[in-house]
Structure formats: structure tokens, C-alpha cells
Amino acid sequence: MKLHIVPARSGWQWALQGVKTFWRQPLALGGLFFMLMAAVSVASMVPVVGGVLALVLLPTLTLGMMVASDTADQGQFPLPPTLFIGLRNAKTRLPLLQLGGLYAVGFFLVLALSMAVDGGNFAKVYLGQAAMTPEVITAQGFQSAMWISTLLYVPLAMMFWHAPALVYWHGISPAKSLFFSLVACWKNLKAFGMYVLAWSAIFLGTGMLALSISSLMGNPGLMGATLLPLMLVAAAMFFTSMTFTVRDCLRS
């Protein structure tokens, strides 16, 4: 496995590859994405440990989407068990779960640091334990906690971006995979910046499309009903594109 430094334009190409690959197998990849969401939702409902369990499973489920995207890119139909391929493999099951445990620790550490700023208001909203009302948003420290959480989450995301793929495809230990993933993201920061911009544009365009549809139908109330499915499709395309970032940055 070698680190490959790519030009900034690769970020746009990754996003486009994700969109194109998704529409080659929209039923398969869309279905797997909804399975991912369902698995996270079911795990989060487990009493006491649900929130932690959902976070532990996330890297493994993300890997499943990467493998499915790679399968679709090769012209094959990814089957539902692909989503859990990391757990079905005896060699990678424990390392991926360990990676998930590290992700859960990092995630809650970020929220804990935000609690020191606003007393936990942002954390409660983020975890769905409180509604995002104007009073909550304007409360002292809320926006500071939000921005601090965002800034702290960026390096966490960089560490875990390539990590599941490194564990599964290259047999690297969880700790080393976090280091290599961080380095790969940092060395290709311009490309990832363009990647973020590309997906920001896609999600913004999706919102504008939903608004246009509701306006053409002459029913503003359709905005919400139209926006949700379109955003879910956009999110599925985003997950599909992740495998191309790994493929370009880390080559065998």
C-alpha cells in the first residue's frame, strides 16, 4: 500500500464518480444505504448502550458501502450481505469493531469538550434529546459549542476516513490505520477540499430542486415531502463516492 498524492481536481472527479456509479445500480446502492440507516437506527434503540453501539458499527457499515460501490463500479450487482462484509470476515471482525470503539470514544470526547462551553445544550440537540428552538440556538455558548465541535470533528473524520478500508483491504491494525488515514487526508487536503465543495453544491442543488418542484406544483407544503427523499438519494450517492477517495489516495 502506497500513499498517492492527487491534484485538487480529483475531489470533483470523486464526487462525479460516486454519482455515476450510484445510477448504474440505484436500487442496489440505494437499498444498501437505507439498510445502513436502518441498522444504525435499530442499534441506537438498544437500551442504555444504543448510542455507543450505533457509533461502533458505523465504520463497519461504511466499509460495506465502499465494497458495494467498488462492486457496482466493476459492473456487478452488490447484494445485501455486502453491507456486513466486515463482520462476516473472521479476520477483520474484531479489528473493525475495535476501530468502531475508538470512533465512539473520539465522538463522545468531542461532545464532552463542547459541553464545557455551553453546559451540554448543543450535545443534547445533536443527540436528539432536545429540540432546536430559537431559544436554544441563541442560548449562551451554543454557537461556540457548535463551531468547536465542528472543528474538532474534522481531524476525527480524517483519521477514520480511510481507516476501515485500510483494515479490511490491507490488513493494517486499527491504530496504524488511523495514522495512515490522517496522513492521506492531510497530504491530499486540496482534493478533499474540492470534494467537500462538490458535495456542498450537490446538496444545495438538491434543496433547490425540491423547492422548484413544490413551486411548480403550486403547493409549498410539498417542500418537506419532496426534500427528504431527494436528500436521502444525495446522501446515498455521497456514500457511494467514498470508495473512490480511498482508491485514489491509497494504492496497492
pLDDT in tens, 132-181: 777 777 777 888 888 889 999 999 999 999 999 999 999 999 999 999 99
CA 67/CA 73 separation, integer angstroms:
10
**Is the Cα dihedral 195, 198, 199, 200 positive or negative?**
positive
CA 226/CA 249 separation, integer angstroms:
36
Mean pLDDT of 200-208: 92
In sequence order, the 6+-apart residues with CB closer than 8 A to the CB of 241 are: 14, 15, 17, 18, 19, 21, 69, 195, 199
Residue % of the chain over a pLDDT of 70: 96
**213 exposed, middle or buried (CB, 10 Å; 0-12, 13-18, 19+)?**
middle
3-class DSSP state for residue 32?
helix
3-class DSSP state for residue 3?
strand
Pairing of β 2-3 and β 250-251:
antiparallel
Mean pLDDT of 62-66: 97
Give residue-wise pLDDT tens across range 39-57.
Answer: 999 998 998 888 899 999 9
Give residue-wise pLDDT tens across range 81-105.
Answer: 999 999 999 999 999 999 999 999 9
pTM: 0.90
Does residue 219 carry a pLDDT above 70? no
